[in-house]
């Protein structure tokens, strides 16, 4: 017949600290020195070879050849060592005698401890009973477990090449028709059910972000960005960004992928630090995915090390500092300022009407606030000149006499400019004067930019172009 024997054990308390050194000096001769204690009655000669380090401007900690610490350590089960004081007893120490002490790493397995009973106050979370079935192993072919996320009564498991869920305190029973019904069971970690699709989180758990029932993560092995929701796994990198993520994820640094949820703008933000520099001279790309438009909406000029949202506020960290985004600008350099550097805001888009027709783009127009400039206008054949804002005080006569001036002019609440070709003339072209109006090509890629140095909010509502069929 089994007998339960209660074993007592004691905790170690730091009962008393008699004195501490408050000052010390270094010496080079053979004489002993006398440190200054916080207790004036204490006196102790220390040898020359004692060491000390400054913890701040006035207090020193010390190490002596020997054990002159003036501290008393004692094992005691009663608080403060009093005869009638309360005892500290948490039950039996958890210990295990392992005959074979060789380390074993199970990268694709789960294990759970005992439970904490809030009604009785019994805490068994430090106990891992080898006599019970408390482990669950997943398919090692799918790689190691990188991320665990608890959702309702399910445990979502992210392996390198697979995503699955384990039922907690329940199991699934399948009928002959393949329909599943859930039933309770005594096992803590129940049946493991894999999601459809051969996608995992690789070795980038930092890319994980969650909002509601939507979980976002990257799979650098497949060069895709995934979303796990109620309908399973979807590839959101296919929304117009397939080639971009194929190149960026393939060259990403180890631990160079960081993801997070922007609670302010309701977007998934992903930052990829690449081994290669882009045409802008940076190695990173930070962009956001918006569920309302089902697309990647913005590129940012900051490279975060962590992304987090708290109380609907959006924060990132960089070089050990935390930054709060979307704060109202205070100084003239605050708008577009990330981590102490002010950047210009820009929008890049493509004109591709009648894609099979070779066009001659003649004008560009935009609706919005003043101050925007055309940073670039490129086609498959030609390049347009840089266009800057003009003075809004120009008269009608000035506007008529300066048709080819490289400036935006305000006409009927629109800002208009003639596109001037900067490409050297080709054989067979007719060129009038020193410059020629119009840029030829099937399509045009345009970049509009605003200088954020003046701290003013500048809206860009719409951009259009006028073109004719090229002759």
Query: What pLDDT score was predicted for residue 423?
Result: 82
Q: What angle do CA 190, 195, 201 make, to 5 degrees?
A: 100
d(CA 344, CA 375) in angstroms, rounded, equals 11
Query: What pLDDT score was predicted for residue 94?
Result: 57
Q: Tokens 């109006």 map to which residue?
A: 437
pLDDT band at 402 (very low <50, low <70, confident <90, very high): low
d(CA 67, CA 341) in angstroms, rounded, equals 53
Q: Are both 366 and 436 inside the same structural domain?
A: yes
Query: What pLDDT score was predicted for residue 122?
Result: 86
pLDDT band at 429 (very low <50, low <70, confident <90, very high): low
Q: Provide mean pLDDT across the span 115-130.
A: 83
pLDDT band at 81 (very low <50, low <70, confident <90, very high): low
d(CA 155, CA 36) in angstroms, rounded, equals 58
**Residue 220 confidence (pLDDT) above 50:** yes
Q: Are both 162 and 239 inside the same structural domain?
A: no
Q: Provide mean pLDDT across the span 329-346.
A: 79
CB-CB neighbours of 157 under 10 Å = 24
Query: In this structure, is residue 6 part of a structural domain?
Result: no
Torsion of CA 419, 421, 427, 431, to 10 degrees: 70
Q: Are both 364 and 410 inside the same structural domain?
A: yes
Which comes out higher in pLDDT, residue 54 or 83?
A: 83
Do residues 370 and 392 make contact, with C-beta atoms less than 8 angstroms apart? yes
Q: Provide mean pLDDT across the span 121-126.
A: 85
Q: For residue 439, give both structure tokens.
A: 């840029």
Q: Are both 221 and 321 inside the same structural domain?
A: yes
Q: For residue 178, give both structure tokens.
A: 């393949």
Query: What pLDDT score was predicted for residue 340?
Result: 84
Q: Provide mean pLDDT across the span 224-245.
A: 94
Q: Are both 417 and 464 inside the same structural domain?
A: yes
Which residues have a Cβ under 8 Å from the Cβ of 219 and sit 6 or more positions away? 199, 200, 201, 202, 225, 226
Q: Are both 183 and 223 inside the same structural domain?
A: no
Query: In this structure, is residue 244 part of a structural domain?
Result: yes
Query: What pLDDT score was predicted for residue 13?
Result: 54
**Residues 263-303: tens digit of each pLDDT:** 999 999 999 998 877 766 678 999 999 999 999 999 998 99
Query: What pLDDT score was predicted for residue 83?
Result: 72
Query: What pLDDT score was predicted for residue 2?
Result: 65
Of 170, 194, 218, which one is at a domain's C-terminal end? 194
Beta strands in 341-438 (DSSP E): 341-342, 345-351, 359-368, 373-379, 388-389, 407-411, 414-418, 420-421, 436-437
Query: In this structure, is residue 200 part of a structural domain?
Result: no
**Residues 91-112: tens digit of each pLDDT:** 555 566 667 777 778 899 888 8
Q: What is the DSSP letter of 381?
A: S
Query: What pLDDT score was predicted for residue 51?
Result: 44
Query: What pLDDT score was predicted for residue 440?
Result: 87
What percentage of residues in the chain have a pLDDT greater than 70?
69
Query: In this structure, is residue 336 part of a structural domain?
Result: no
Listed range (347-351, 353-357, 394-398) with the worst mean pLDDT:
394-398
Query: In this structure, is residue 309 part of a structural domain?
Result: yes
Q: Provide mean pLDDT across the span 422-428.
A: 74
Q: Are both 461 and 350 inside the same structural domain?
A: yes
**Residues 148-202: tens digit of each pLDDT:** 999 888 899 999 999 999 888 765 554 444 555 555 556 778 788 899 999 999 9
3-state secondary structure at position 39: coil
Q: Are both 377 and 465 inside the same structural domain?
A: yes
DSSP string, 312-337: TEEEEEETTEEEE-SPPP-STT-TTE
Query: What pLDDT score was predicted for residue 422?
Result: 83
Which residues have a Cβ under 8 Å from the Cβ of 159 and sit 6 or more positions away? 108, 138, 142, 143, 144, 145, 146, 200, 201
Q: Are both 210 and 321 inside the same structural domain?
A: yes
Q: Are both 182 and 258 inside the same structural domain?
A: no
CB-CB neighbours of 415 under 10 Å = 24
pLDDT band at 244 (very low <50, low <70, confident <90, very high): very high
Long-range contact set of residues 229-234: C-beta below 8 Å, sequence gap at least 24: 232/195, 232/196, 232/197, 233/163, 233/195, 233/196, 233/197, 233/199
d(CA 363, CA 467) in angstroms, rounded, equals 7
Query: In this structure, is residue 294 part of a structural domain?
Result: yes
Query: In this structure, is residue 139 part of a structural domain?
Result: yes
Domain that holds residue 65: 19-69
Query: In this structure, is residue 3 part of a structural domain?
Result: no
**Residues 29-51: tens digit of each pLDDT:** 444 445 555 555 555 554 444 44
Of 161, 194, 227, which one is at a domain's C-terminal end? 194
Q: Are both 352 and 253 inside the same structural domain?
A: no
Query: What pLDDT score was predicted for residue 141?
Result: 92
For the chain, the domain total comes to 4
Query: What pLDDT score was predicted for residue 447?
Result: 93
Do residues 62 and 51 make contact, with C-beta atoms less than 8 angstroms apart? yes
Q: Provide mean pLDDT across the span 53-62.
A: 42
Of 327, 356, 381, which one is at a domain's C-terminal end? 327
d(CA 409, CA 415) in angstroms, rounded, equals 5
**Residue 6 confidence (pLDDT) above 80:** no
What's the mean pLDDT when you consider all of the chain? 78
Do residues 155 and 99 make contact, with C-beta atoms less than 8 angstroms apart? no
Query: What pLDDT score was predicted for residue 58?
Result: 38
Query: What pLDDT score was predicted for residue 395?
Result: 58
Q: Are both 357 and 266 inside the same structural domain?
A: no
DSSP string, 112-164: ----B-TTT--B-TT---TTS--EEE--GGG--EEEEEEETTEEEEEESS-EE
């Amino acid at each position: 017949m089994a007998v339960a024997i209660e074993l007592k054990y004691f905790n170690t308390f730091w009962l008393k600290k008699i004195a501490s050194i408050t000052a010390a000096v270094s010496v080079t001769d053979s004489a002993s020195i006398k440190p200054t204690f916080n207790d004036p009655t204490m006196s102790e000669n220390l040898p020359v070879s004692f060491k000390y380090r400054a913890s701040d401007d006035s207090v020193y900690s010390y190490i002596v050849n020997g054990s002159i610490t003036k501290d008393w350590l004692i094992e005691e089960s009663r608080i403060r060592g009093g005869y009638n004081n309360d005892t500290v007893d948490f039950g039996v120490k958890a210990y295990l005698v392992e005959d074979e002490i060789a380390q074993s790493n199970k990268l694709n397995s789960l294990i759970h401890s005992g439970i904490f009973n809030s009604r009785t106050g019994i805490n068994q979370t430090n106990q891992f009973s080898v006599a019970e079935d408390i482990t669950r192993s997943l398919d090692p072919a799918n790689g190691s477990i990188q991320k665990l996320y608890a959702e309702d009564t399910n445990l979502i498991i992210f392996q390198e090449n697979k995503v699955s869920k384990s039922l907690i305190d329940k199991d699934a029973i399948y009928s002959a028709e393949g329909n599943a019904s859930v039933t309770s069971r005594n096992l803590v970690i129940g049946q493991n059910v894999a999601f459809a699709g051969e996608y995992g989180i690789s070795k980038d758990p930092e890319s994980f972000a969650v909002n509601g029932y939507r979980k976002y993560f990257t799979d650098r092995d497949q060069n895709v960005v995934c979303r796990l929701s109620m309908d399973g796994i979807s590839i959101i990198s296919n929304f117009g960004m397939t080639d971009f993520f194929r190149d960026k994820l393939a060259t990403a640094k180890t631990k160079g992928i960081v993801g997070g949820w922007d609670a302010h703008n309701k977007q998934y933000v992903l930052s990829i630090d690449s081994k290669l520099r882009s045409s802008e001279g940076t190695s990173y790309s930070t962009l956001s995915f918006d569920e309302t438009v089902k697309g990647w909406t913005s590129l940012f000029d900051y490279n975060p090390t962590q992304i987090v949202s708290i109380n609907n506020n959006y924060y990132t960290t960089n070089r050990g500092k935390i930054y709060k985004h979307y704060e109202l600008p205070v100084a003239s350099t605050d708008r577009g300022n990330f981590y102490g550097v002010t950047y210009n805001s820009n929008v890049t888009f493509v004109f591709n009407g009648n894609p099979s027709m070779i066009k001659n783009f003649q004008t560009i127009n935009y609706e919005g606030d003043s101050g925007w400039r055309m940073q670039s206008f490129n086609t498959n054949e030609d390049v347009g000149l840089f266009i800057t804002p003009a003075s809004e005080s120009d008269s009608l006569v000035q506007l008529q006499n300066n048709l080819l001036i490289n400036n935006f002019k305000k006409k009927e609440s629109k800002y208009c400019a003639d596109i001037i070709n900067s490409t050297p003339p080709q054989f067979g072209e007719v060129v009038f004067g020193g410059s020629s109006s119009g840029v030829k090509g099937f399509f045009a890629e345009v970049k509009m930019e605003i200088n954020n140095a003046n701290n003013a909010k500048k809206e860009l509502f719409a951009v259009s172009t006028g073109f004719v069929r090229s002759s």
